[in-house]
Amino acid sequence: MPRPSQLDDKRRELLPVVAGVFTRLGYRRATTAELSEACGVQENILYRLWPDKKAMYLAAIDFVYEFSEQTWLRLLERDGGGASSARRLLEYESHHHGEFGHYRILFAGLPEIDDADIRAALRRTFARFHRFLLAQMLTQRSGGGGAAACPAELAAWAAIGLGTIANISRELGLLDDAQRRGLIEQIGGLLLSSGGAGRPSAGRGRRASKHTLT
Amino acid sequence: MPRPSQLDDKRRELLPVVAGVFTRLGYRRATTAELSEACGVQENILYRLWPDKKAMYLAAIDFVYEFSEQTWLRLLERDGGGASSARRLLEYESHHHGEFGHYRILFAGLPEIDDADIRAALRRTFARFHRFLLAQMLTQRSGGGGAAACPAELAAWAAIGLGTIANISRELGLLDDAQRRGLIEQIGGLLLSSGGAGRPSAGRGRRASKHTLT
DNA sequence: CTATAGAGTAAGTATTCACATACAGTATTG
DNA sequence: CAATACTGTATGTGAATACTTACTCTATAG
């Protein structure tokens, strides 16, 4: 028999490089020539690892979440000095949110959203972020007694929106580092204390749902 | 003298059509052939109205804000039954946010953000949205007495983030209409009562700024 | 050693697309 | 009317680029 396949290893090795190019150039402007050059291989090699450019991009999308999750899990493994996981994540993100720019990979997918594969990959990625954040917010709840109130799920979505606008404002130079930090800290704290905790969300939620129809 | 130029009229007439194509296809995939066909003219005509495809896109970006602003101003001109402008906008948006899909034009610009012109246009657009929302949130303040507290500006950014994630969740089918409505109502209400009003933001803001460094 | 198939190199290609050119029609002013 | 510049049509083109093909080299199994 001939030598065993090293395709899986090679994929793992090159994926961060590929993701880096998509981060820098987006989906359309990342040419296969650029991708292969950054990887230090010929284009052909990339086509043996992935069937086409779209597959490379789909792999990069998954990479975005997995990279974030790894970072967060590593953070939570460390000693937290008593603060809740959600608070520690918030603290961390207020200083490091978006520092690798991987969110650009997701931004690049939004204009391609009518492609079923890209849509599915983005959907999965946002859903995973939501699931992770929601879990963190729920563990911060007082006892864990009360049934899963609707607001926590919404607060988790709002937190993703907060991160998104923080990234956009970074890209556009609309907020500097300190302002972005304040944005994440203050609004993030607001979301945590309203959506995560059972206590204050009752009165506050009642007032906010003045217009609720359902 | 020959006939007077109708270029301005033509631009105004075709801009919504052009914006519609960019809404549907984004920046890269909107070909000049598609644009001209949608406008019912030859490509050449578009090149007499705008110097290149990018200029057409830049015009579409400005169109996004101006269209929204017109809609909102028309809404606020109507009788509001005593509710504050901010509340009425929130009510309206909870039902109609993103219904024209124009936000896709902005999404399409994010991967092109290293182009100085596109970046400037996006920056201007987001800044205009922020200015408008902030003004609405500030008019809702109790007397108008207290100095412009920092949280109101942040709350306005968070509101834009809320709208952004609402649009993303719409695109990805992550939230249905009712869920998106709840998201905008509840989190929007939270932002209004925290960032806009002087009263509750004091205690709440103090608590949220536990991590504030500056 | 040698046969096999994976790993790597170097071209080519078909297509798409932004933009250009060349030309015909028409409305307005003196 | 007649001259002018605007309005419109048809076709061309050169560059970019995703993907292919043909080929060589190399490591492993028997």
For the cut 50, the answer to whether the pLDDT of residue B147 exceeds it is: no
Contact B34, B26 (CB under 8 A): no
Q: Where are the domains of chain A?
A: 61-211
> What confidence category does residue B149 fall into, taking pLDDT thresholds of 50, 70 and 90?
very low
For the cut 50, the answer to whether the pLDDT of residue B120 exceeds it is: yes
Distance B68 CA to D7 C1' (A): 32
Query: Which pLDDT score, from 0 to 100, does residue B208 have?
Result: 36
Distance B17 CA to C25 C1' (A): 26
Nearest CB among B154, B166, B182 relative to A150 is that of B182
Query: Which pLDDT score, from 0 to 100, does residue B8 have?
Result: 81
Mean pLDDT confidence for B138-146: 60
Q: Which residues contact A68 (CB under 8 A, 6 or more apart)?
A: A102, A129
Using DSSP's 3-state secondary structure scheme, residue B1 falls into: coil
Structure tokens at B64: 């996004």
Mean pLDDT confidence for B8-31: 93
Query: Is the CB atom of residue B43 positioned under 7 angstroms from any atom of strand C?
Result: yes
> What confidence category does residue A10 fall into, taking pLDDT thresholds of 50, 70 and 90?
confident
Mean pLDDT confidence for B108-120: 97
Query: Which pLDDT score, from 0 to 100, does residue B80 have?
Result: 73
Q: Which residues contact A121 (CB under 8 A, 6 or more apart)?
A: A58, A61, A62, A109
Residues from chain B contacting residue A158 (CB–CB below 8 Å)? 158, 161-162, 165, 183, 187
Q: Which residues contact B180 (CB under 8 A, 6 or more apart)?
A: B97, B166, B169, B170
Chain C footprint positions (protein CB, under 7 Å) = 3-12, 16-22, 26-30
Most distant pair of Cα atoms in chain A: their distance: 72
Find the DSSP H helices in B82-210: 85-96, 103-109, 116-139, 150-171, 177-191, 198-208
CA distance A66 to A165: 21
**pLDDT (tens digit per residue) in A103-146:** 999 999 999 999 999 999 999 999 999 999 999 988 876 544 44
Query: Which pLDDT score, from 0 to 100, does residue A94 have?
Result: 95
**pLDDT (tens digit per residue) in A167-201:** 999 999 999 999 999 999 999 998 988 754 444 33
Query: Is the CB atom of residue B32 positioned under 7 angstroms from any atom of strand C?
Result: yes
> Residue for token digits 């830049």?
B58
**pLDDT (tens digit per residue) in A26-36:** 999 999 999 99
Q: Please compute Rg for chain A using Cα positions.
A: 20
Query: Which pLDDT score, from 0 to 100, does residue B193 have?
Result: 82
Q: How far is A163 from chain B (nearest CA, A)?
A: 8
Using DSSP's 3-state secondary structure scheme, residue B26 falls into: coil
